[in-house]
Chain A
């Protein structure tokens, strides 16, 4: 058991436990906090793989902005315990089997084909900020500009939606 493997299993267990906690908690604020745990664990995994920029972005944007937004909204709406309604028979009976089937499919596909993939090692210069930014502004400049446009639209949308009726 090398150190990376131990770290991997710890972080992986953390992520899975966090996800299970997300779906089992009854209060939404607890679910939000569980999600933050998952995200941090994933950031750790990115670091382990050597993608430091992505890990940083994950924590700053996802953990620091999006989840904070979620928590703000939960507090704003005073979201309490979840109601125990169950109107959908279909979801009750077919939900778990279908989810298991989907996961099974994907897992089977992975198991079948990932033997030919090399290990996910940190490869230094490949994933430095410089490389990423070069890619971003040369090959992917068009999507990049579009996403900035998208963010603008989202801001406008959010403002319009959350306005009080005047």
Chain B
């Protein structure tokens, strides 16, 4: 059957271009416009992009039926150097389907939410301009067909993260947080770039299809555990970039500080989309990673450790957004754990469900903050359940989802990850155990958040603060996301529950098929699922016991103090890395190199010229007789040159 026409796929660039146009129009022209016009541009461009994405998905379905491979289309020759070509090439395959729908869909909902949340803020047009610019770069990142173009998007979202975190740039803490995010990202990017260089060296191309086909068809061996061959090093370097962008140990420190930005920014960038870029890259490069057992093991360990570590910090935080930030770091750790143990499909699945409920949680938190007049410390909230009902129920939905209760979305994805970890060949049981512990903690701190915010007695001054529900443009996206958090997991309901794992089947072309499970594995999975739900219950009950009656802020002492201060990691980095670097910059590079050498050379040349001029100017005395003497000197020099053949022997002979 002939290939159906695919107009959108042929013009795939329209999907990223629409937000870029919206960004440009709002950014250049929007400063004088009323909020309504800005809204139309921003929401229109994002909404249209989402519609185009839906259409592209539909067309791809038809395309794949006939062609059975990914859709790649080159659009523009960007770098052409000898045999190397990197272009503005876009590709569309099953993984892209998931990413593009998440980015445009959740992005669109957050845009709608922002029209309400930011309504009274200054710089309204600038916010939407940056937000649209972010959408553009993120879409480039997920649609790119080669590493170079992906890197363009990668850097671009880092830039937009900086711009949006430091949106309230007049606040010192906000601009510092923006800088921190960008700089820490850059450290990861260094690793990513080295990885790209190695890839180029090995495969002479940065195109996904070229590299992955070469590896799959080329009898490239799997590098065993403990060795550091070129594939391992490449993958580890790419993973280093991913740790920066996706906030894993050791480069996670920027994410909590990033909460300085407006809450929709935290929802979009630091929950649903940008931080998932690292997971996306690892998933996209699954062909490379599966050929290096060491790299996979490292990814799994880092992911698991981060999941646990961040969860412990989240146990005691008092700022509502900080709890959610550490929760994000922790959940990203789960995604990397999944990729590390080989369950890439589960990792992406968790990415998708996480974007639903984490965006929901952040937006609800924003709604709470909006309702209570700006307070972010949970010890200053309480008893809000009856007053802001819609927000409460939405947030509760998100919490139940993240804790992993059946049949909400989080259950299916987390369960898949833990099951895969359990079956992993290298210390899988240990990874499973730590992951389970982190799940208990997750449930605990999330329900702690719920009780402190919505339960207990009000700890704020009820006379001064008038608690009101958020407007419709904020609550409707919450409700949509709540619905998605509920049903979003059902696409992968495994065979256990009578359905097929549609998600795994869908992603099979990208990740390879899931292993067909035998009966023992089947029952093992049921047992582990039960354990997971029990873990979530444990967390809920402990939180309930600790926080419902008479809860008050504990004193800072002992282990509590260490956790509250985030294990003093920021202070450690300050002393070990930043302090010496600043000292070096100030005393060596500034004082010695810049002022001394560079300025010294430039000024030295200038003062040298001045000195020479000062000396030579004495010849210009204005006195004719001196000039006459100089003429004479010149004449003698010329005579000497002319008479040199005669003069030379005379002088030599005369001396002797």
Q: Do chains A and B touch in the complex (CB under 8 A)?
A: yes
Residues of A within 8 A of B (CB): 87-88, 90-91, 94-95, 98-99, 101-102, 105-106, 108-109, 112
Q: What's the Cα separation between A90 and B636 when bound, in Å?
A: 16
List B residues 621-638 near A (Cβ within 8 Å).
621, 623, 625-626, 628-630, 632-633, 635-636
Instruction: Verify A109–B633 contact, CB threshold 8 A.
Output: no
Q: In angstroms, how far is the closest chain B Cβ from the Cβ of A120? A: 23
B636 — which chain A residues lie within 8 A by C-beta? Answer: 98, 101-102, 105
B497 — which chain A residues lie within 8 A by C-beta? Answer: none
The A-B contact count (CB < 8 A) is: 40
B76 close to chain A: CB less than 8 A: no
Instruction: Verify B639–A91 contact, CB threshold 8 A.
Output: no
Q: In angstroms, how far is the closest chain B Cβ from the Cβ of A95? A: 6
Instruction: Verify B646–A112 contact, CB threshold 8 A.
Output: yes
Q: Which 10 interchain pairs have the tightest Cβ spacing?
A: A91-B625, A88-B625, A88-B623, A88-B626, A98-B632, A90-B626, A105-B639, A91-B629, A90-B629, A87-B623
A91 — which chain B residues lie within 8 A by C-beta? Answer: 623, 625-626, 628-629
Q: Which of B633, B640, B646 contacts A98 (CB 8 A)?
A: B633
A95 — which chain B residues lie within 8 A by C-beta? Answer: 625, 629
Q: In angstroms, how far is the closest chain A Cβ from the Cβ of B625? A: 4
8 contacts between A and B (CB under 8 A): A87-B625, A88-B629, A90-B625, A91-B623, A95-B629, A98-B629, A98-B633, A98-B636
CB nearest to A101 among chain B residues:
B636
Q: In angstroms, how far is the closest chain B Cβ from the Cβ of A112? A: 6
Instruction: Verify B639–A102 contact, CB threshold 8 A.
Output: yes
A sample of 9 more A-B contacts (CB under 8 A), given A87-B625, A91-B629, A98-B633, is A90-B625, A90-B629, A90-B630, A91-B628, A94-B633, A102-B635, A105-B640, A109-B646, A112-B646
CB nearest to B628 among chain A residues:
A91
Residues of B within 8 A of A (CB): 621, 623, 625-626, 628-630, 632-633, 635-636, 639-640, 643, 646
B629 — which chain A residues lie within 8 A by C-beta? Answer: 88, 90-91, 94-95, 98
Q: What's the Cα separation between A102 and B638 when bound, in Å?
A: 11
Q: What's the Cα separation between A109 and B633 when bound, in Å?
A: 18
Q: Which of A88, A109, A112 is most buried by chain B, counting CB atoms within 10 A of its CB?
A: A88
Q: In angstroms, how far is the closest chain B Cβ from the Cβ of A83? A: 13
A99 — which chain B residues lie within 8 A by C-beta? Answer: 632
A112 — which chain B residues lie within 8 A by C-beta? Answer: 646
CB nearest to B619 among chain A residues:
A90
Instruction: Verify B621–A105 contact, CB threshold 8 A.
Output: no
A101 — which chain B residues lie within 8 A by C-beta? Answer: 636
B643 — which chain A residues lie within 8 A by C-beta? Answer: 105, 108-109
Q: What's the Cα separation between A105 and B628 when bound, in Å?
A: 18
B646 — which chain A residues lie within 8 A by C-beta? Answer: 109, 112
Q: What's the Cα separation between A99 and B625 when bound, in Å?
A: 13
Instruction: Verify A102–B632 contact, CB threshold 8 A.
Output: yes
Q: What's the Cα separation between A94 and B625 when bound, in Å?
A: 11
Q: In angstroms, how far is the closest chain A Cβ from the Cβ of B72? A: 81
B625 — which chain A residues lie within 8 A by C-beta? Answer: 87-88, 90-91, 95
Q: What's the Cα separation between A112 and B650 when bound, in Å?
A: 11
B628 — which chain A residues lie within 8 A by C-beta? Answer: 91
A88 — which chain B residues lie within 8 A by C-beta? Answer: 621, 623, 625-626, 629
Q: What's the Cα separation between A112 and B635 when bound, in Å?
A: 20
Q: What's the Cα separation between A102 and B636 when bound, in Å?
A: 6
A90 — which chain B residues lie within 8 A by C-beta? Answer: 625-626, 629-630
Q: In angstroms, how far is the closest chain A Cβ from the Cβ of B641? A: 11
CB nearest to B640 among chain A residues:
A105
Q: What's the Cα separation between A108 and B643 when bound, in Å?
A: 10
Q: In angstroms, how far is the closest chain A Cβ from the Cβ of B653? A: 13
Q: What's the Cα separation between A94 and B623 when bound, in Å?
A: 14
Q: What's the Cα separation between A109 and B635 when bound, in Å?
A: 15
A98 — which chain B residues lie within 8 A by C-beta? Answer: 629, 632-633, 636
CB nearest to A98 among chain B residues:
B632
Q: In angstroms, how far is the closest chain A Cβ from the Cβ of B631? A: 10
CB nearest to A91 among chain B residues:
B625
CB nearest to A113 among chain B residues:
B646
CB nearest to B632 among chain A residues:
A98
CB nearest to A87 among chain B residues:
B623
Q: What's the Cα separation between A87 and B625 when bound, in Å?
A: 9
Q: In angstroms, how far is the closest chain B Cβ from the Cβ of A154? A: 22
B630 — which chain A residues lie within 8 A by C-beta? Answer: 90
CB nearest to B630 among chain A residues:
A90
B623 — which chain A residues lie within 8 A by C-beta? Answer: 87-88, 91
Q: What's the Cα separation between A88 and B623 when bound, in Å?
A: 7
B639 — which chain A residues lie within 8 A by C-beta? Answer: 102, 105-106
